[in-house]
Amino acid sequence: MEIVAVPAFTDNYIWLVHDRESGETAVVDPGDAAPVLAEASRRGWTIGQVWNTHWHPDHTGGNVAIKQANGARVSGPAAENIPASDVALKEGDEVRLGRHVGRVMEVPGHTSGHIALVFDEDGVAFVGDTLFAMGCGRLFEGSPEQMYRSLQRLAALPGDTRLYCAHEYTLANARFAAHAEPENRAIADRLAEVAALRDAGQITLPTTVAQERETNPFVRSTNVEEFARRRAAKDSFGS
């Protein structure tokens, strides 16, 4: 499984996923069709599937154009209104790319029907806007209880699982993490690493479950109440 980041808008990443054996290609959360179609064409790939984690336009805005261009099959959460949707996904369903099989995990909080796609054998999960490197999504539709449970589910995956989220928020998240846990040496070290990467214009993703267990203050919250306090504090924290 080859995974390529395609930058979009100011801080989104659209993920192109390619299976060399079958030649099949999927795209995760294409908010903008143009850059991802261009990158796929440059590589000689044809996008046959669109996988959406939630309905927000910066994740689904390219669905129609990609479907028109390639006849791609669009899959997304059953509980949400996904543009051009062909397949409604719910907990325990599967998506396939060649021999690679991903299971659907419902992770509400950011939106009410948000899903993640977990490829257990590949050690990969596409988590949309539920979990970010050192952070988590805002609670636009869900409750603190829902988001806390969703994060704990993702954090229970094997530590070496690579997490592909949809935004380059890591530096701002790292600064808040250092504020939330000033005694956490792992957070301080990661903040320095992330700052150096961003100064060099480099991507900070994917992250891993093990990294998030050590340095993500939302994953590390010991209960829902602590999570809710930290999420409220982050909402008003300067970057």
Catalytic residues: 54, 56, 58-59, 110, 129, 167
> How crowded is residue 176: how many other Cβ atoms within 10 Å of its Cβ?
21
> Alpha-carbon distance 89 to 86, whole Å?
10
Is the distance from CB of 167 to CB of 13 less than 8 angstroms? yes
What's the rounded Cα separation, in Å, for the pair 95 and 58?
22
Tokens of 9: 């808008």
What is the sign, positive or negative, of the torsion defined by CA atoms of 198, 202, 208, 211?
negative
Widest pairwise Cα distance in the chain: 52
SS3 (DSSP) at 103: strand
Residues 6+ apart with CB under 8 A from 69: 33, 37, 47
Buried/exposed code over 21-33 (b: 16+ C-beta within 10 A; e: otherwise): eeebbbbbbbbbb
Count of alpha carbons within 13 angstroms of residue 35, beta-carbon side: 17
Tokens of 114: 């948000």
Measured distance CA(119)–CA(104) in Å, rounded: 9
